Amino acid sequence: MISDISIVRLECPEPAEYYNAYITTPEISRSFGSTLQYACPTGYAWVGGVVTCSTAGSWQSEGQIEGCLVLAPGSNCASDTTCSPVVSAKCKSDVCVCPAGFSYLPDTSACTRDCKSLFNSGVQSNGVYEITPDGINSVNTLCDMENGGWTVFERRFIGNVDFMLEWDAYRQFFGSLNGDFWLGLDYLHALTVADSDIYFDFTTSANQPFYARYHNFSVADNHTLFKISMSSVYEITPEYSNIRNGGFYDHNNMYFSTPQHDNDISATNCASTRGAWWWNKCYTFGMFLKSFNFMKMYMGYNDTYVYFKETTMKVRRTK
């Protein structure tokens, strides 16, 4: 008769991989009590200590494993205070490091990731700054500091940059930071992994300001076709408050489309005539990526459109 059989692990699984990290232990044993020593390339520090195969059958560290973090100047430290000349730096594993996902920028002597972290470091002037949205790759963009550190991902007020482009172009930066530009969908995804707001800061062709702000905004990655989501909470210029379905909110859960990548929910191909956007059925908020003279928004009644001569789109982490 077979009695209860419980499966007992006799060793740990293959060691986990951490970005940038490599194992320096000469011979890896997976039996209980064995230890692993991870290390990182120059400029990074391993935070997680020695990793041991526990009798529970899993690799564990005495501290929390955070992987390879970017070193901040300050060499050895005893507490966060020792690292404090570098804004946001922390003392971990006896060295000063930037938080996960942040990098160190010597110009500002701060650990940074986006315009908000620069703003929190004390940078107060609007301008072009280097940011690292994914914590690895850096890119220059415009920061709106006077409103609290918004990262600008689109600006169009001159009209000399062609926005009628395809998928791969929209994934990356194009244009000029002195003029019209698009930051890139991969960066926009990285910037909105943390809870964020999106803000549309426009000027109508009649020289009137228009704004709209949507909360809990995020952009998925390339595999998910840069699908957007947001909450139904939004603020908009009062005179446009009766815009159809909340304007941009009408595009909630839509995928990004370009002329040759029709991911919209229309029987037609919105992007082929209107330019790239998170199209739904070719209407409402977003007819401005085709040509500079067609930056317009459908109001949803009486075939009314609002035309814009300047558009700025930006995002900001809420925490």
Shortest distance in whole angstroms from residue 282 CB to Ca ion: 9
What is the Cα–Cα distance from 91 to 71, expressed in whole angstroms?
10
Cβ 242 to Ca ion shortest distance, Å: 28
Of 5-13, 200-208, 238-246, 254-262: span binding Ca ion (CB under 5 A): 254-262
Q: In this chain, which stretch among 78-86, 112-120, 157-165, 258-266 interacts with Ca ion, using CB under 5 A?
A: 258-266
Question: How many residues interact with Ca ion (rule CB under 5 A)?
Answer: 3
The interface region with Ca ion, picked from 40-48, 78-86, 107-115, 264-272 by CB under 5 A, is 264-272
CA distance 171 to 10: 47
Give helix then strand counts, H and E, for the chain. 5, 22
Q: Largest Cα–Cα distance in the chain? A: 88
Span of 29-37, 45-53, 163-171, 255-263 interacting with Ca ion by CB under 5 A: 255-263
Q: Which is nearer to Ca ion, 162 or 262 (CB)?
A: 262
Q: Which is nearer to Ca ion, 93 or 266 (CB)?
A: 266
Residues 251, 224, 310, 155: what is their CA dihedral angle, to the nearest 10 degrees?
160
From 97-105, 148-156, 167-175, 256-264, give the range in contact with Ca ion by CB under 5 A. 256-264
Which CB sits closer to Ca ion, 150 or 279? 279
DSSP state of 227: -
CA 304 – CA 141 distance, rounded (Å): 34
Provide the residue type at 299 as one letter: M
Q: Running DSSP on this structure, what letter comes out for residue 42?
A: T
The Cα–Cα gap between 61 and 232 comes to 42
Q: How far is the CB of 255 from Ca ion (least distance, A)?
A: 10
Binding mask of the shown chain, residues 210 to 249, with x at each position contacting Ca ion by CB under 5 A: ----------------------------------------
Which of 114, 144, 250, 264 binds Ca ion (CB under 5 A)? It is 264
Cα 289 to Cα 271: distance, rounded to the nearest angstrom: 9
Distances (CA, A) of 277 to 36, 57, 177, 272, 274: 48, 49, 21, 10, 8
Nearer to Ca ion among residue 88 and residue 257 (C-beta): 257
Distances 216 to 99, 194, 196, 224, 285 between C-alpha atoms, Å? 23, 9, 5, 18, 18
Binding mask of the shown chain, residues 266 to 295, with x at each position contacting Ca ion by CB under 5 A: x-----------------------------
Residue from 49, 262, 272, 291 in contact with Ca ion (CB under 5 A): 262
Residues 23-82 that bind Ca ion (CB under 5 A): none
- Phi-psi sector, 62: left (phi>0), alpha (psi -120 to 50), beta: alpha
Only segment of 87-95, 114-122, 261-269, 296-304 that touches Ca ion (CB under 5 A): 261-269
C-beta of 88 vs 263, nearer to Ca ion: 263
- Please say which residue, 97 or 282, places its beta carbon nearer to Ca ion: 282
Contact 217, 315 (CB under 8 A): yes
Contact 183, 141 (CB under 8 A): yes
Minimum CB distance to Ca ion smaller for 284 or for 311: 284
Count of Cβ atoms closer than 10 Å to residue 236 Cβ: 19
Given the complex with Ca ion, which of 2 and 267 has the nearer CB atom? 267
CA distance 53 to 32: 5
**What are the residues binding Ca ion (CB under 5 A)?**
262, 264, 266
